[in-house]
């Protein structure tokens, strides 16, 4: 019965950390960068420069765009049972303005969100011990930046505030070893974690140099941590074992660190009609090797049979993430005055090894293709882009991920093995008002 009390404490704490693809996002965001395969460091412009490289803030413009991200993901368990992702598609906005004060200085401000797919799987599916739902994760970045031009060299920086909201559900096992079996649905405990941190400051820095037909650019994004008191909601299983138990308290301290990022790019203007960029990105996702959930005595289980009251302690969540790198190539061709066609591609490594891969981390190595175009008429420009991202399938046979079951960990079954397939579609459109247009 003491082990049972420990189990219920773990159920309240929720053992699965936040889940995203590509670490926390796909390796490209913004409609114009999407059409260039994310190769948008040396040639970053307008509001998207706030994220990619603030040294490229220039001209006077107001721009907005909207992108949608849909992930098709499937999981087939070793017994042949299959499930698929039904997560909703959330709009990912960009709204920003840049003002050129003088030839020496420009300022910009904007609000934008990373391109992140959402996840939802059946509550009774074979994947339920890894994830049920994480399709209510939002991240909004508010950014103010400035750029200085010193001859051919530009330097810039920005201050950012991140508004982060997470809500995620997963199932834990209440199997004690005394009756039934580890995957008995009557012993399942559904737990929900919710965290909202509306104020987290961070920033970025950028530099670039215009050397004739070639532009060099580099930028660094500083890390940040979303943290606060998370709320836990629990629905105990249908087994009669849970009947007398009640849960008092529903908060615990929780923190989610996000990585530093380094970008570099080379833009080549081959002629008056064609420009191409090759870019590189490194994201330090190994910062999420583990996560800590600390109730600090605020969650208590009442009337546990044979025990009485039990106070939950600190839990450590094993994430096992690793850094990712990506390569991006994009080209922009002027068909007619004001009419542009663009295309690009990128390759990004996975943030998870097989040992910790699951539906909660559908992030395999990926190859993405983007295409789009724009048409500018006088002071206005329309942009559109679409991208297909193929994630290489994973056949996991050496997973170390088990059910969370502190009552009987020796008999907790492996839940990460199986076959995983996924791909992502991204589409968006934008509108810009170019006040400096002739």
pLDDT surpasses 80 at 136: no
Choose from 408-412, 414-418, 434-438 the range with maximum mean pLDDT.
414-418
Q: Measured between alpha carbons, how far is 315 from 404 in angstroms, rounded to an integer?
A: 11
**By CB neighbour count within 10 A (0-12 exposed, 13-18 middle, 19+ buried), where does 327 fall?**
middle
Give the pLDDT score at 188: 87
Mean predicted confidence (pLDDT) in 298-318? 70
Mean predicted confidence (pLDDT) in 242-254? 79
Q: What is the pLDDT of residues 29-64, one digit of tens each?
A: 999 999 999 999 999 999 999 999 999 999 999 999
Compute how many other C-beta atoms are within 10 angstroms of the C-beta atom of residue 205. Answer: 17
User: Please, what's the b/e burial string for 106-138 (b: 16 or more CB within 10 A of its CB; e: otherwise)?
Assistant: bebbbbbbbbbbbbbbeeebbbbbbbbbbbbbb
Is the CB of residue 12 less than 8 Å from the CB of residue 74? no
Q: Let me know the angle formed at the C-alpha of 323 by 321 and 325, rounded to the nearest 5 degrees.
A: 140
Which one is predicted more confidently, 438 or 306?
A: 438
Is the CB of residue 325 less than 8 Å from the CB of residue 337? no
Domain range for 336 is: 2-434
Choose from 175-189, 236-250, 402-416 the range with maximum mean pLDDT.
175-189
Q: How confident is the model at residue 23 (pLDDT cuts 50, 70, 90)?
A: low
Q: Measured between alpha carbons, how far is 89 from 66 in angstroms, rounded to an integer?
A: 12
Q: How confident is the model at residue 100 (pLDDT cuts 50, 70, 90)?
A: very high
pTM for the model stands at 0.90
Q: Measured between alpha carbons, how far is 55 from 209 in angstroms, rounded to an integer?
A: 9
Give the pLDDT score at 304: 66
pLDDT surpasses 80 at 132: yes
Structure tokens at 401: 């991920």
Which one is predicted more confidently, 362 or 432?
A: 432
Q: Within 13 A of 304's CA, how many CA atoms are on the CB side?
A: 20
CATH number of 190's domain: 2.40.160.60
Question: Nearest 10 degrees: CA dihedral of 211, 214, 215, 218?
Answer: -110
What secondary structure does DSSP assign to 301-364, as a single string? Answer: EEEETTTEEEE---EEEE-----EEEEEEEEEEEEETTEEEEEEEEEE--SS-GGG-SGGG---
Structure tokens at 39: 């190769």
Give the pLDDT score at 156: 98
pLDDT surpasses 70 at 246: yes
Percent of the chain with pLDDT over 90: 63
Total structural domains within the chain: 1
Mean model confidence pLDDT for the chain? 88
Structure tokens at 432: 């810009």
């Amino acid at each position: 019965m003491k082990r049972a009390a420990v189990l219920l404490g773990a159920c309240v704490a929720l053992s699965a950390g936040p889940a995203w693809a590509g670490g926390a996002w796909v390796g490209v965001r913004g409609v114009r960068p999407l059409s260039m395969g994310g190769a948008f460091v040396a040639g970053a412009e307008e509001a998207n420069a706030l994220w990619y490289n603030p040294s490229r803030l220039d001209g006077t413009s107001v721009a907005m765009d909207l992108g949608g991200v849909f992930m098709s993901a499937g999981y087939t368990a070793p017994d042949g049972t299959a499930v698929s992702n039904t997560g909703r598609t959330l709009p990912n906005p960009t709204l920003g303005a840049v003002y050129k004060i003088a030839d020496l200085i420009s300022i910009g401000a904007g609000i934008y969100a990373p391109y992140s797919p959402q996840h939802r799987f059946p509550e009774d599916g074979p994947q339920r011990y890894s994830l049920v739902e994480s399709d209510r994760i939002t991240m909004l970045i508010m950014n103010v930046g400035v750029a200085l031009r010193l001859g051919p060299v530009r330097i810039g920086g920005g201050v950012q505030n991140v508004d982060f909201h997470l809500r995620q559900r997963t199932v834990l096992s209440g199997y004690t070893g005394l009756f039934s079996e580890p995957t008995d649905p009557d012993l399942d405990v559904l737990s929900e974690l919710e965290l909202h941190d509306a104020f987290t400051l961070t920033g970025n820095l950028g530099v670039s140099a215009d050397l004739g037909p070639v532009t060099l650019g580099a930028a660094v994004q500083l890390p940040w941590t979303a943290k606060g008191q998370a709320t836990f909601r629990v629905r105990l299983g249908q087994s009669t074992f849970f009947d007398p138990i009640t849960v008092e308290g529903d908060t615990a301290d929780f923190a989610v660190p996000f990585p530093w990022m380094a970008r570099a790019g080379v833009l080549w203007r081959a002629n008056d009609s064609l420009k191409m960029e090759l870019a590189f990105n490194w994201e330090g996702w190994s910062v999420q090797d583990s996560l800590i959930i600390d109730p600090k005595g605020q969650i208590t289980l009442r009337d546990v049979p044979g025990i009485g009251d039990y106070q939950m302690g600190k839990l450590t969540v094993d994430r096992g993430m690793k850094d990712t790198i990506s390569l991006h190539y994009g080209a922009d061709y002027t068909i007619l005055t004001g009419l542009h066609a663009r295309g690009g591609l990128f390759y990004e490594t996975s943030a998870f090894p097989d040992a910790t891969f699951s539906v909660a981390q559908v992030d395999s190595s990926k190859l993405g293709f983007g295409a789009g175009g724009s048409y500018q008429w006088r002071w206005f420009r329309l942009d559109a882009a679409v991208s297909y991202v193929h994630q290489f399938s994973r056949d996991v046979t050496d997973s170390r991920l088990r059910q969370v079951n502190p009552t009987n960990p020796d008999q907790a079954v492996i839940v990460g093995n199986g076959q995983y397939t996924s791909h992502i579609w991204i589409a968006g459109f934008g509108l810009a008002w170019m006040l400096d247009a002739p």
